[in-house]
Structure 1
Amino acid sequence: MYSSDDSGSDFEGFAPEVVAAAEKKLLDLLELYPNDLSDVDLSDLDFESSDSEDENDDASTSNTNQNGDQWTDRLRRFTIEDFNGTPGPTTILPSDANEIDFFNLLFPSELLEKIAEETNRYAESEQEKKGQDPKWRATTAQEIRAYIGIQIVMGIIVAPNQDMYFSNDSLFKPSGINERITRDRLDKLNQYFHVSDNSQNPRRGQPGHDKLAHVRTIMDVILPKLKSAYNPHKEVSIDEAMIAFTGRLGFKQYVPLKPTKRGIKVWMRADPHNGFVNEFQVYTGKEGRTAEKGLGERVVRDLSRSIWGNYHHIYYDNYFTSIQLFNDLAENKTYACGTIRTNRKGLPPTIAKSKLKKQGDVI
């Protein structure tokens, strides 16, 4: 077990000679206890679950927990079952497929039609309140598709302001967007673009209010597509990401140590072999003033539940790690690896109070 404090510093890995030395130590210990080489069934362990990062976890003060299970310094072999999943894409496209064909796997035409419908609905409702807008005309799914493509281009080729994309000076014009849409039309699409019917969402503070109502339509389509379009490899990563945002938003996060300090926090499960995101959850903040206990554990369970039973190996950092989570995943035929904070519940004092001075030291 590798112990980590809560400093958040990245672990860069062990040198080969350190790994070899640690392996020798392990083999020496196994030789000292030849009668204790039976397999360990993690499902027999049941330790008290840890709280979330916001709570102050108290480490165990005894090697025996409330259920009578005991830690021991005698290392035992543990049989790792073979991974039985089939990684890779579930839809094989023809050899002449291009980028848009892959995009269409995740973003179907039905979603474009829905966005066009909701954009037109919102434009009509705004004009009923404020009067007719002579510059507006109803949009279509085909135009919405082009609009999304323009947003992608603007994210790749970033100009100081939107007007520069429509410059007539070839020296300053960064792309050919102005050859496909006028500036006034893009302004109107930006003004009325909607993907959901806001009138169906209860007001803030009322039962049933959805903080993600503005994007719920897209999420309800994209999430199942992400899970069904690609099967991950044996190794799986779960971590947090930040979507940069500086506007007004009730669940906007400020994380000063992150490269993106302000924005929307998103929990993600991805395949580390290629970065494909299979599942994600948007963190919408606390409910009321009460912090959610066991938030990290809950996130890992939610994002990994659909791949339980295939003996995947999930990797995550000390924000998520707890003894109870390891046991729960093992019971569902899923393995995990992660650093752990020394104040997590369930750790024996030998581990919780230890000071590892060199990389490769084992306790």
Structure 2
Amino acid sequence: MAEFTASRVAEAKRALDRIFAQPYARDTEDEDDRASEASEADDNGDRHDGSEGNESEHNDTFLSKDKKIEWSSVPLRDSDRVTVPQHLAGPTAEAKAGAQSILSSFLLFFTPELEQLVLAATNREGSRTRDSWKQMDVIDLRAYVGLLILAGVYRSRGEAAASLWDAECGRAIFRATMSLKDFYLRSKTLRFDDRESRAERHSDKLAAIREVWDMWRERLPALYVPGPEVTVDERMVPFKGRCAFRQYMPKKPARYGLKLWVLCDANSSYAWKMQEYMGRAGNAGARTTNLASQVVTSLTQGLEHRLVTCNNFFTSYELARSLLLKNITMLGTIRRNKPELPPESLSAFGREVFSTRFAFSDLVTLVSYVPRKNKTVLLLITKHSRPEVDETRRDKKPRAILDYNRTKGGVDNLDKLLAAYSCRRMTKRWPVAMFHNILDVSAFNAFVIWRETHPDWMPEKRNRRRLFLERLGKDLVTPLIMRRKHAPRAESARALIRTIRGPSPTVTPPRSEKRKRCQVCPREKDAKTHTVCTDCRKYICGKCTWPFCAECAGISSEDTGES
């Protein structure tokens, strides 16, 4: 019995070798054959694509596991399936016209219409819960957002807000902008919809921020044209509070959070489209069929002549064919349990390390690569229809794997960059966590547009994004600092206010040589005075005069003549 089994295994091995014996990936132990293959590679160039040689002798076909797809061991055509034209990637005309300053670049995403939605909902909640609520305006909201961005710039995401406002070890710009009590009040009252009418929208799990989210999400593709290569992947917004659609992903840096589907430009990591994941539909928790295909189809709507790179969660044979009909090619790893794969490409038994096998259908190419012993990597690609292996590399990786490694990190790079200077704060409300994500992505996309429209802006600096965010935060808080009536007690905050407001105008002498009647008191009092108001130039008597120190009046010591 053992001899019979061994003979069957040997026979199967010889059959596999006959099927996949290609000039570009030979799996034989004959040294003479290896030498002749090396000489053929030298004659054909450094990159051996396997298109030359006697292919008709090895033109074998084999079926997929479900017996529905016929694969061939040789290419069915010599040219690429889709010719990708040159794209004018980068900011759109609207983005170029609007990115005149760092602040205006950010306001392309955080639009005035979006600001009015947040202000209306927040003021409605404040008036409902507090009798002495002071209405917030655009200056107040932008200052609040600016402080969140500055907290992310200073890597203070896990730091208590009280320490940021501390007079000794805190940051002066926080105390100069608003008090800690006002910051807590705005954080507690921040809303994005009318909670009184939320019951009417109970079927929408994202009802608490739906209008703001949809308005912001529509701005992403309107301001940027992605390049020829894009990446589709998932990302998590960290959140551990109560939420009906909170997800748990143990392999992510943030295991608990809100899942988003993202399409990014593979080169700049610009977030071009985002789509929320609301969990399984229905009360029974039934699994959604074709979820991955639906996500990729929805995210790529409006794109043509692009290469979409995704991981094995999304990749399937049917998705590759459907995208190709829309002039979109796909490249991605694929799981071994897919029924459309041929069994001959799955096994690494008897194959050399760094060897590659190709299988071709009418529209799809399957790549099977052995990076180490008893390990295979499977990729599906629709762009290239020829076997190409880089023979100059020690590991002899095929071109498909090199392209995948180059383009797979668009969303992962976005996650890394957002986490470096994230403005998110600890919160128990998931709409606030989504709002923090809106601010993070808006600031990053604004930086991409600013960098590409102003390539000469600080080219020698390696921390340009940090400088961009710091300048953005200061531009957002400056109007409130200029409007603030009462200066804080901390000397550092007072000095910062004087610096931002600039030098005060020269003080007019408070006394005039000519004595006149006080223009504030009633005429019948006939109060004569030499004192003149420094601003309105009215004559005022002692009873109508209010004392202010130089700091509260915004007057520097140089203007008063004090040393």
- Structure 2, unmatched stretches of 5+, are 1-37, 359-563
Q: State whether structure 2 residue 301 is matched by structure 1 residue 299.
A: no
Name the residue aligned to 1:3: none
What does residue range 167-206 of structure 1 map to in structure 2 within 5 Å? 167-169=166-168, 172-202=169-199
What does residue range 65-80 of structure 1 map to in structure 2 within 5 Å? 65=68, 69-76=69-76, 77-79=78-80, 80=82
TM-score normalized with structure 1 length: 0.76
Q: Which of the numbers 83, 88, 91 marks the counterpart of 1:89?
A: 91
Name the residue aligned to 1:14: none
- Structure 1, unmatched stretches of 5+, are 1-16, 37-58
TM-score normalized with structure 2 length: 0.50
Could you tell me how far apart the structure 2 residues matched to 1:119 and 1:296 are? 37
Counterparts in 2 of 1:107 and 1:96: CA distance versus 1, 3 Å: closer
Could you tell me how far apart the structure 1 residues matched to 2:348 and 2:47 are? 20
Q: Which of the numbers 272, 275, 278 marks the counterpart of 1:281?
A: 275
Name the residue aligned to 2:356: 361
CA-CA distance at 1:83 after TM superposition: 2.6
Q: Which of the numbers 114, 117, 130 marks the counterpart of 1:114?
A: 117
SS of residue in 1 equivalent to 2:275: strand
Q: Which of the numbers 65, 73, 76 marks the counterpart of 1:61?
A: 65
SS of residue in 2 equivalent to 1:26: coil
Name the residue aligned to 1:161: 160
CA contact (8 A) 2:345 2:357 kept: no
Q: State whether structure 2 residue 219 is matched by structure 1 residue 216.
A: no
Could you tell me how far apart the structure 1 residues matched to 2:324 and 2:331 are? 11
Q: State whether structure 2 residue 23 is matched by structure 1 residue 24.
A: no
Name the residue aligned to 2:135: 138
Counterparts in 2 of 1:155 and 1:102: CA distance versus 1, 3 Å: same
Q: Which of the numbers 227, 243, 248 marks the counterpart of 2:237?
A: 243
CA contact (8 A) 2:114 2:216 kept: no
Aligned-pair identity in percent equals 23
Could you tell me how far apart the structure 2 residues matched to 1:268 and 1:221 are? 17
SS of residue in 2 equivalent to 1:227: helix
Which residue identity lines up with residue 302 of structure 1 in the other structure?
Answer: S
CA-CA distance at 1:255 after TM superposition: 1.2
Deviations 1:169-207 (A, max 9, x none): 1xx11351110111111111111111112333337xxx8
Could you tell me how far apart the structure 2 residues matched to 1:208 and 1:22 are? 62
Name the residue aligned to 2:305: 311
Name the residue aligned to 1:50: none
CA-CA distance at 1:268 after TM superposition: 0.3
Could you tell me how far apart the structure 1 residues matched to 2:49 and 2:353 are? 14
CA contact (8 A) 1:297 1:325 kept: yes
Which residue identity lines up with residue 91 of structure 2 in the other structure?
Answer: P
Counterparts in 2 of 1:152 and 1:125: CA distance versus 1, 3 Å: same
Could you tell me how far apart the structure 1 residues matched to 2:257 and 2:354 are? 35
Q: Which of the numbers 259, 265, 280 marks the counterpart of 1:265?
A: 259
SS of residue in 2 equivalent to 1:275: coil
CA-CA distance at 1:72 after TM superposition: 1.8
CA-CA distance at 1:348 after TM superposition: 2.1
- Paired positions, count: 306
- The answer to which structure, 1 or 2, has the higher relative contact order (CA under 8 A, 6+ apart) is 1
CA-CA distance at 1:249 after TM superposition: 1.2
Which residue identity lines up with residue 27 of structure 1 in the other structure?
Answer: S
SS of residue in 1 equivalent to 2:121: helix
Greater share of strand residues, 1 or 2? 2
CA-CA distance at 1:330 after TM superposition: 0.2
CA contact (8 A) 2:55 2:74 kept: no
Could you tell me how far apart the structure 2 residues matched to 1:125 and 1:156 are? 34
Could you tell me how far apart the structure 1 residues matched to 2:96 and 2:250 are? 43
Could you tell me how far apart the structure 1 residues matched to 2:116 and 2:198 are? 21
CA-CA distance at 1:325 after TM superposition: 0.3
Deviations 1:313-342 (A, max 9, x none): 000111100000000000011001001001
CA contact (8 A) 2:99 2:105 kept: no
Counterparts in 2 of 1:316 and 1:21: CA distance versus 1, 3 Å: farther
CA-CA distance at 1:151 after TM superposition: 1.3
CA contact (8 A) 1:317 1:339 kept: yes
Name the residue aligned to 1:10: none
Name the residue aligned to 1:4: none
CA-CA distance at 1:261 after TM superposition: 1.4
SS of residue in 2 equivalent to 1:106: coil
Q: Which of the numbers 321, 331, 335 marks the counterpart of 2:325?
A: 331
> Cα RMSD between the aligned structures?
2.9
Name the residue aligned to 1:55: none
CA contact (8 A) 2:231 2:308 kept: yes
Could you tell me how far apart the structure 2 residues matched to 1:60 and 1:200 are? 54
Greater share of helix residues, 1 or 2? 2
Counterparts in 2 of 1:92 and 1:224: CA distance versus 1, 3 Å: closer
Q: Which of the numbers 321, 324, 335 marks the counterpart of 1:341?
A: 335
